[in-house]
Amino acid sequence: MKTKYILLTFAIIFTLSSCEEVIEIDLNSSHPILVVEARLYKDSLATVLLTKTVNYFSLETPEVIENATITITADDNVSEELLYLGSGLYSGETMRGIEGVHYEIEILWEEEEYNGSAFLPKQTEIISLEIVEFQPAPQAPLFKNAEITFLDNPETEDFYMIRYVLNGLPLAASYFAFSDMTFSDTIQLANPQLSFETGDLVGVQVFSIDEPMSVFYSQLSQALGGGMAMSSTPYNPTSNIKGAMGYFAAWSYVMDTVVVP
Amino acid sequence: MRNLLFLILIYPALLVGQQNYTLSGSVTDAATGEDLIGVTIFDLESSSGSITNSYGFYSLSLPAGWYNIQYSYMGYTTAKHAIELSKNQSFNIELTPSQIALDAVTISAERRDKNITSAEMGVEKLNLRQIAIIPVLFGEKDVLKTIQLLPGISSSGEGSTGFNVRGGSMDQNLILLDEAPLYSASHLLGFFSVFNADALKGVTVYKGGIPAYYGGRASSVLDITMNNGNKKNFNITGGVGLISTRLTVEGPIIKDKMSFIVSGRRTYADIVAKAAFSDDVVPNDLSLYFYDLNAKLNYSINDKNRVFLSGYFGSDVFGFSDQIGTDWGNTTGTIRWNHLFNKKLFSNTSVLFSRYNYGFNAGQDGISIRLTSGIENLTVKEDFTWFLNPNNTIKFGGSSTFHTFKPGELESEGELDFDIILREKSAYESAVYLQNEQKISTRFSANYGLRLSMFNQVQIDSGLIYEYGDDNLPSDFTFYEAGEIIQTYLGFEPRFSLNYILGDKSSLKVSYNRMAQYLQLLSNSTSGNPTDVWLPSSNNIKPLYVHQVAAGYFRNFLDNNIETSAEVYYKRIQNVADYEDGANIFLNEFVEATILNGLGRSYGLELYVKKNYGDFSGWISYTLSRTENKIEGINDFNWYPVKYDKTHDISIVASYQLFPRISLSAVWVYATGNAVTFPSGKYVIDGLQIPYYTERNGYRMPHYHRIDASINIKGKKRKRFESNWDFSVYNAYNRHNAYLIDFRESETVPGATEAVKLSLFGIVPSISYNFKF
């Protein structure tokens, strides 16, 4: 018994020697940069939200941009200038996303021009969505994961992003982007880090995206702490809009739901 | 006529008087029979001298006559030998360890002003007893942590045994154990080194003035030799500490001819945790340990031939039965043959094997994955030492190494059906060298030489070799047959160092070396991880070439009891490598495309004050330095500091012999924080706050400092049994030095972001018991 207390003491000393604490740190203030969230989904109108970067420790919400001119052009040279709706949000009125089409975006703001492009891929098809049980390690609790199976073309390199919706609300930071690495005609996967409870209504969205968006969201995931171990130094996710942060996404997507038993 | 006849008669005598003869032999420890490296042998009158080589062999050529030869070495009683040199002679001598020097860490001189008179600069030869008294984490005596207390050498981070020398990255250090290279010198994520001090004989660090004998790494050489094994008596040495236990057994197989040494160490963090906590907190099938095993056999066949066989096996293991686990480790093997051609020509033939591998496995319900990577090499080398005369010692030789690189394999079994196997790579690395240590005059001495190296990237299995475009994807390819050479690089590596003695107590030294490095370590952190991957130079990755110049002023005081030095250095690095923003270096077949090359430079000032003798001894070292890179595609092509750049680095080491059996030691270290990339702003995407970065490595971690202290109490010596207790405390004032700083959304204030510091160690006491019999 005495030996056990001695060992316990040393184990506690070791365990408590390390610690985590919130600290004050002096960071530089950078010049505000344009931030773009531009979406053009299949069969939907384009929507663009423009904001700016702020100081890192600022408690204020990012300032919106109200005086920009945004034009989206399809590869058949059909263009549309978006209408400002308020709160930094701009929307199209006529042009809707079409599979297989390239789109260009041009943003004019404070005498600067920002350009980007995106390709809207073909929509996939969900085969099944079911709940599977998984135990990540001995002694760990049983996880209930959502496993999705969907179609993939083995002859082309395709990119996807998966996003989860729980009880009708999108799960923050639940997405992950990837390319099809196998030659199979289906893809089946589950996110082992997401576990659900009995009775949850789980929705899984499968976005077909282009390669720059796959890169952007993979890097975004790392920036949020999901996978910095795979990279060498902190960095800004690569935007497909030159000179700005954010993205121009032209996507198709499908969704299915399941109730967790 | 009579004068002419006289001259004719004495002419042969005159010739005899001019003839040189060679005194040679070996110097060993009288108690153990171990070879003594670096023993100074010199004639007291003429001051002509020599030193023993790595195998304890010396050779000294002098004109015929009577001499008083002195043999002196740190920690040993100086011996004198009167000799009439009228022919070539062999003289082997055993030196007796000095009891006074053993009790106090004060050391009687090999040659007390060696730092003044030697042409070597940028070299530190560590005394293993100095290593033994320095307090370190968990009481484990550590070679690598000790060298980080020297000027110009800094730690890569808290708890890490990775180190940086004069601004070089971790992979620019050549670490040799009995000549075999080690690719990962740390255990347990960098908390301990792989070197069990009980098995070691000598440690030499070259920061600059690197002789042509060494090559393959750009910044430094850490040359570690193992003990050969006591040739006279059986000994058992060991210790039990807070985190590990160790045992060394050595002894003669044939007395004075053949001996062995086996030394092992194992930690038991898992045993402690399982005993201290219940099964639901710490599972019974937890494995968390590392081990080291050193073994050596040496055999003196005759006076002219000796063979050595040595090996090192070490591994780290962490896991839960076969469900999930990771392991990594080194294996080295060395076979060496010393041969004496004659009194002046000594050769060493070596065959060396070295391997580092990493593995990770996970599995459940019939599904499993296994990730592995590693590096392996086989070397053949031949080295000659020609003791030409007292003023010239010439070394020459060559080596050839075959490298095999396994960048990564991910294999699955069961329902999962995918494998990712990055292609193996191979290469030949060869070199020849010639160097001379010359005493030019009583004031001038020099070491100079040339190393020529060659690196061939070789195709293992026939297939395609790619070149990459701006999109990091293959833009062109060429087919190569198995065994075909893809790319060749050459290295022209001149080396020299000069010493000019100003007076009895001071000297000026300058040195220059050019180094070529053909391997580099892909690392995603400052301190290194087991998952780091070694990659060779290739058609896409150019070798590193470094020029380093250094100059120094050396001055001793108080009869060489106080040594001081001031050195400055400047390094220019060609083809320094860094990774583009967002580079994915994990299981990436096209990882070469993410590497960017550019220029690097490093410069600094090193100040050193050391007290060698007396009850109170120690040193103070200070380094002021800057290391930066300039690479197109990073930081807008501006110079930026490297991750491990530290402006100020200070170490104060003190040891005091309080009583004959009680000694106190303390170490205080201070360093500027590493250069890091912190956010300069933030923005919102999809409702999430994302950090926004500007300049690379534009910020500094908080300053690092701590003090460690220890007290060593020796037990009463009984016949052959010796013991001591070591009580130490790491980080005695409990400073929570930052290990990393993370930026995240606040858990308490919605919408706010905060910086969170993670520290590894606060105050850590430890106790260990050591014995020898």
- Measured in Å, how far apart are chain A's first and last C-alpha atoms? 46
Contact assignment for A35 to B585 by CB distance below 8 Å: no
Res B678 pLDDT > 70: yes
Contact assignment for A223 to B762 by CB distance below 8 Å: no
The mean of the pLDDT values for chain A is 85
Contact assignment for B280 to A139 by CB distance below 8 Å: yes
- The tens digit of pLDDT for each residue in A23-36 reads 888 887 778 999 99
Query: What is residue B110's predicted lDDT score, i.e. its pLDDT?
Result: 42
Res B275 pLDDT > 90: no
Q: What one-letter code names the amino acid at B589?
A: E
Q: Compute the nearest-CA separation of A211 from chain B (Å).
A: 11
- The tens digit of pLDDT for each residue in A172-222 reads 777 788 888 666 788 888 887 788 889 999 999 999 999 999 989 888 887
Q: How many CB atoms lie within 10 A of CB B698?
A: 17
- Specify whether the CB–CB gap between B151 and B623 falls below 8 A: yes
Q: Is B699 on the interface with A (CB under 8 A)?
A: yes
Instruction: Classify the phi-psi angles of A60: left when phi > 0, otherwise alpha if psi is within -120 to 50, otherwise beta.
Output: beta
The pLDDT > 90 percentage for chain A reads 55
Nearest-by-Cβ selection for B681 from A8, A18, A55:
A55
Report how far apart, in Å, the C-alpha atoms of B173 and of each of B215, B223, B510, B520 are: 10, 10, 22, 11
Res A229 pLDDT > 80: no
The contacts of residue A3 (CB under 8 Å, 6+ apart) are B275
Contact assignment for B320 to A229 by CB distance below 8 Å: no
Q: Compute the nearest-CA separation of A230 from chain B (Å).
A: 6
Nearest residue to B550 (alpha-carbon basis) of B600, B623, B498: B498
The residue that leads in pLDDT, A73 or A61, is: A73
Handedness of CA B251, B253, B255, B260 (dihedral sign): negative
Query: What is residue A60's predicted lDDT score, i.e. its pLDDT?
Result: 85
- The tens digit of pLDDT for each residue in B593-650 reads 888 889 999 999 999 999 988 889 899 999 999 999 999 888 889 999 998 999 999 9
Query: What is residue B71's predicted lDDT score, i.e. its pLDDT?
Result: 92
- Which residue in the block uniquely carries the two structure tokens 């020849």? B432
Residue B273, both tokens: 């945790």
Q: What is the mean pLDDT of residues A53-77?
A: 91
Contact assignment for A234 to B524 by CB distance below 8 Å: no
* CA–CA distance, B97 with B77 (Å, rounded to integer): 6
Q: Is B68 on the interface with A (CB under 8 A)?
A: no
- Which residue in the block uniquely carries the two structure tokens 């993370």? B742
- The tens digit of pLDDT for each residue in B459-470 reads 888 887 878 776
Sheet strands (E) in B185-285? 186-187, 192-193, 200-206, 220-226, 235-240, 244-254, 258-267
- Which residue in the block uniquely carries the two structure tokens 């609300």? A169
* CA–CA distance, B59 with B382 (Å, rounded to integer): 19
Nearest residue to B127 (alpha-carbon basis) of B76, B172, B182: B76
Query: What is residue A105's predicted lDDT score, i.e. its pLDDT?
Result: 97
Cβ pairs bridging A and B (under 8 Å): 185
The mean of the pLDDT values for chain B is 86
Contact assignment for A246 to B683 by CB distance below 8 Å: yes
- Specify whether the CB–CB gap between B585 and A232 falls below 8 A: yes
Q: Compute the nearest-CA separation of A65 from chain B (Å).
A: 13
B-interface mutation test, from A13, A34, A35, A56, most B Cβ less than 10 A away: A56
Res B201 pLDDT > 70: yes
A-interface mutation test, from B420, B531, B690, most A Cβ less than 10 A away: B690
- The tens digit of pLDDT for each residue in B541-592 reads 899 999 999 999 999 999 888 999 999 999 999 999 887 776 766 667 777 8
B window 498-527, beta carbon within 8 A of A: 523-524
Contact assignment for B682 to A17 by CB distance below 8 Å: no
Q: Compute the nearest-CA separation of B764 from chain A (Å).
A: 7
The residue that leads in pLDDT, B314 or B99, is: B314
Query: What is residue B18's predicted lDDT score, i.e. its pLDDT?
Result: 58
Contact assignment for A3 to B275 by CB distance below 8 Å: yes
User: How many whole angstroms from its chain centre is CA A49?
Assistant: 16
* CA–CA distance, B489 with B266 (Å, rounded to integer): 42
* CA–CA distance, B568 with B494 (Å, rounded to integer): 20
- Specify whether the CB–CB gap between B743 and B679 falls below 8 A: yes
Contact assignment for B583 to A182 by CB distance below 8 Å: no
Query: What is residue A139's predicted lDDT score, i.e. its pLDDT?
Result: 64
Pairing mode, strands B305-320 and B286-302 = antiparallel
Nearest-by-Cβ selection for A4 from B276, B743, B761:
B276
Res B47 pLDDT > 90: no
Q: Compute the nearest-CA separation of B220 from chain A (Å).
A: 24
Nearest-by-Cβ selection for B582 from A35, A57, A235:
A235
* CA–CA distance, B63 with B383 (Å, rounded to integer): 28
Res B471 pLDDT > 70: no
Query: What is residue B378's predicted lDDT score, i.e. its pLDDT?
Result: 97
At residue B756's C-alpha, the angle toward residues B754 and B758, to 5°, is 175
What 8-state DSSP symbol labels residue A241? B
* CA–CA distance, A40 with A79 (Å, rounded to integer): 13
Global ipTM: 0.88
Contact assignment for A58 to B682 by CB distance below 8 Å: yes
Query: What is residue B54's predicted lDDT score, i.e. its pLDDT?
Result: 83
Q: What one-letter code names the amino acid at A61?
A: T
- The tens digit of pLDDT for each residue in B714-752 reads 998 888 889 999 999 989 999 999 988 888 778 788 777
B-interface mutation test, from A1, A2, A6, A17, most B Cβ less than 10 A away: A17
Res B158 pLDDT > 90: no
Q: Is B280 on the interface with A (CB under 8 A)?
A: yes
Q: What is the mean pLDDT of residues B127-144?
A: 73
